[in-house]
Structure 1
Amino acid sequence: MNIIVPMAGMGKRMRPHTLTVPKPLVPIAGKPIVQRLVEDIAKVCGGDIDTIGFVIGKHFGEEVEAHLLTVAKSVGGVGKIFYQEEALGTAHAIYCAKQALVGNVIVAFADTLFKADFQLDVEQDGIIWVQKVEDPSAFGVVQLGEDNVIREFIEKPKTFVSDLAIIGIYYFKDGEHLRKEIEHIIDNNLKDSGEYQLTRVLEAMKRQGVKFYPGEVEEWLDCGNKNATVNTNKRYLEYIRDDKLVDDSVRLINSIVIPPCYIGKDVKITNSVIGPYVSIGKKTDIADSRIDNTIIQNESVIRKANITGSMFGSHSVYDGKARNLSVGDYNRIEE
């Protein structure tokens, strides 16, 4: 099984947290979004992972590339880096990793996480991960036939046709067929809204007899903006609450941690109440604070804070009082 993870986007909706770190490397419960995604896909696959192709921008840098290769190795795969120099649509992003479009392929866009209770049936032609949503007009949806085969893909329907939204993860039994169809739309400059879209490719494959089935997930977790990411962190901590989440090196001085919380290496917490649903990165120092439902990244300093539903980047400093914050890397706030 090969996995392709397009992740070259700028993550503008997540600023300031994506000014120094690509969005897929923002941590959720102590691990980057992309690592959580790859691990969860590996569980659903149930088989061997061969190549994991990460489609990134060249500006991401060597440190990010090295980290992605480590992520691939952690699930038994071989990581490869591919570059998308210009944002030309979802199909174009996948095609940037055309060398990995061989055999069984999963494509997973790195701005969403999921929880699923099904095993991937690799004998099916294709599987589209979906979840029921209350307002399908904001999503691409699938319409099913009586045989549970996907009959139609509809982008942001104005009238109700289905409540099964596509979450951005796809399985293809024949990666070469997918590559051929993407090549066709690029060679013939077949664009939708100025871009090469995967939906057009799926429709073409369906007309040629490929049968796509839905893979319905239990929960779809968005990481598109600060509030959604904080909520996803909360949900993940609930999922893994029985794991060991507090490192042995953590120093608690006259403080209480209300689980579930993730607390990384060499964190110091003094005269504070932390939790529930807080993730704290390594070497962070917190004092005289009450914090819940918040993500704090590495090597930050928090003083006299009363915060909830917030997000702090690495190397940030906060000294004051507030309830809802979005503080980027290296920022300093004093009140």
Structure 2
Amino acid sequence: MKALVLAGGTGSRLRPFTHTSAKQLLPIANRPVVHYALQAIADAGIEEVGVVVGHHGDDVRRAVGDGSAFGLSIAYLNQPRPLGLAHAVAVARPFLADDDFLLYLGDNHLEDGVAGFVRRAAAQRDAARLLLTPVPDPTAFGVAEVDDDGVVRRLEEKPERPRSDLALVGVYAFTPAVHEAVRAIRPSGRGELEITHAVQWMIDRGLRVRAETTTRPWRDTGSVEDLLEANRHVLDRMEGRVDGKVDPHSVLVGRVRIADGAVVRGSRIVGPVVVGAGTVINNSSVGPYTAIAEDCRIEDSAIEFSVLLQGACVEGAARIERSLIGREAVVTAAPRPPQAHRLVLGDHSKVQLTS
């Protein structure tokens, strides 16, 4: 079995970050999201991986390399425009050949990986196997209607009136039968070749499509809130370790990981927290579930439940929380309001002053 990882797309819900980088490269606990996908694929025993890239393809290539760091052999496949998941499968057809393959959306994070899913797909070789999870609001997802035997009867893309609460997670196993389906379907109303339409085409022609459901933590990291939640889940499983310099006036509480080259002075850090190499934290408080990347500077500030990208600087911020701060971004304290007002008012004037 091969794997196909999608690392293109526009990432509209993560703008402005995706104007300058692929959404799959945003970090969870200081590692790009796509690294977790590749590690999960390697742990499942798959060795050949095609990575579909778009506008930020060069950035993905630099971050991932040839795959040897994961024990993988990676081929890069260019999708000039984001025309849908099924279109990405069509682009990858020469790479996939007639092999079974795992389709994995590169901005997804599954805490338990995909090893069991891949093993079951290989043992019970249906035309397609889908991974599902129950969600509170299915209208934002592809939704599956499944019978008592786990056979998929119907798929809908972002339905107004969902027939179930089972959403497509973004992990699929396919046999080569999917290629005929991709060729047969036409673009949807939003101008994309939908993978749900391809799967439904197979169902309508009597091919067996099976589903399995997970209730384990899963995040589509396509929004800031979901990225922060995925970061929280990963940090919860992290072990503490101090390789950098922490002065005697600082306090570390709980699981805190300080990378070699990082410096902490006169600060209090309550884990789980990860601090990247070259970062300096001075006279500050860093609260739980915060990931600070390399070469950042935190000065006279308080921050928690946030993600800071490489080179970010926060100075004089009384309190920051639930925030995503981009590369080389600078946050400083605003000027204080004046302590007194000096007025020169003409006749019949009316002025309102803030307290």
> When the two structures are superposed, what TM-score results if normalisation uses the length of structure 2?
0.81
Is this contact kept in 2: 1:131–1:165, CA < 8 A? Answer: yes
Tell me the residue number matched to 2:265. 253
Amino acid at match of 1:152: R
Higher RCO, Cα 8 Å, sep 6+: 1
Q: Deviations over 1:57-112 (max 9, x none)?
A: 2x325343232235x32321111111111232220022211123242311112232
Change in CA separation of 1:42 and 1:149 when aligned onto 2, cut-off 3 Å: farther
8 A Cα contact 1:51 1:100, kept in partner: no
Match of 1:314 in 2: 327
Q: 2:130, 2:172 within 8 Å by CA — same for their partners in 1?
A: yes
Q: Is the 8 A contact 1:114 1:217 kept in 2?
A: no
What's the counterpart of residue 37 of structure 2?
Answer: 37
State the partner residue of 1:141.
143
Matched with 2:300 is: 288
Code of the residue aligned with 2:58 in structure 1: it is: E
Equivalent positions of 1:150-229 (< 5 A) are: 150-172=152-174, 174=175, 176-185=176-185, 190-193=186-189, 194-206=191-203, 207-229=205-227
Deviation at 1:252, TM superposition (A): 1.1
**Residues 62 and 90 of structure 1: is their aligned pair in 2 closer, same or farther, counting only changes over 3 Å?**
closer
Query: What SS does structure 2 have at the residue aligned with 1:147?
Result: coil
* Matches for 1:295-334 after TM superposition, within 5 Å: 295-305=307-317, 306-320=319-333
Please identify the structure whose Cα radius of gyration is greater: 2
Q: Deviations over 1:155-175 (max 9, x none)?
A: 334445211111211112x2x
> Matched residues in 2 for 1:146 and 1:183: separation?
31
Q: Deviations over 1:265-292 (max 9, x none)?
A: 1211111111201111111111111110
1:106 equivalent to 2:102? Answer yes
* Cα separation, 2, equivalents of 1:147 and 1:290: 52
Residues 50-69 of structure 1 aligned to structure 2 (within 5 Å): 50-57=47-54, 59-60=55-56, 62-69=58-65
Cα deviation for residue 127 of structure 1 reads 2.1
Q: 2:252: which partner in 1?
A: none
Distance 2:162 2:323 in 1: 35
Q: 2:276 aligns with which of 240, 260, 264?
A: 264
Change in CA separation of 1:100 and 1:283 when aligned onto 2, cut-off 3 Å: same
1:298: Cα distance to partner? 0.9
Amino acid aligned to 2:142: G
Please say if residues 260 and 276 of structure 1, whose CA atoms lie closer than 8 Å, have aligned partners that are also in contact. Answer: yes
Distance 1:162 1:243, change over 3 A: farther
Q: Is the 8 A contact 1:296 1:314 kept in 2?
A: yes
Answer yes or no: is 1:87 the counterpart of 2:89.
Answer: no
- Provide the rounded CA distance (Å) in 2 between the counterparts of 1:112 and 1:181: 24
In the aligned structure 2, how far is the partner of 1:268 from the partner of 1:149? 54
1:76 — aligned with what?
A: 71
Deviations 1:120-151 (A, max 9, x none): 21222232111111222332211111212222
Structure 2: gaps spanning 5 or more residues? 242-256, 336-355
Partner of residue 24, structure 1 = 24
Matched, 1:231 2:229: yes
CA contact (8 A) 1:69 1:80 kept: no
TM-score calculated relative to the size of structure 1: 0.85
When residues 154 and 35 of structure 1 are mapped into structure 2, their CA distance, relative to the original with a 3 A threshold, is same
Whether the aligned pair in 2 keeps the contact of 1:107 and 1:170 (CA below 8 Å) is yes
1:131 equivalent in structure 2: 133
| SS in structure 2 at match of 1:19 | helix
TM superposition shift of 1:215: 4.0
The structural deviation recorded for 1:315 is 1.3
Residues 172-195 of structure 1: CA distance to partner in whole angstroms, max 9, x if unpaired?
Answer: 2x2x2222322333xxxx222132
Cα distance between partner residues in 1 of 2:328 and 2:158: 40
SS in 2 for 1:192: coil
- Residues 180 and 30 (structure 1 numbering): CA distance in 2 closer, same or farther, change over 3 Å? same
Count of residues in correspondence between the two structures = 310
Q: Distance in 2 between matches of 1:223 and 1:270?
A: 31
CA apart distance, 1:219: 1.8
Structure-2 separation of matches of 1:248 and 1:66: 23
Deviation at 1:304, TM superposition (A): 1.0
Task: Confirm or deny that 1:7 pairs with 2:20.
Answer: no
Q: Deviations over 1:282-334 (max 9, x none)?
A: 11111111110111111222111120011111112221169xxxxxxxxxxxx
**Aligned residue type for 2:146:** L
- 3-state secondary structure, aligned to 2:187: coil
Q: Is the 8 A contact 2:42 2:72 kept in 1?
A: no
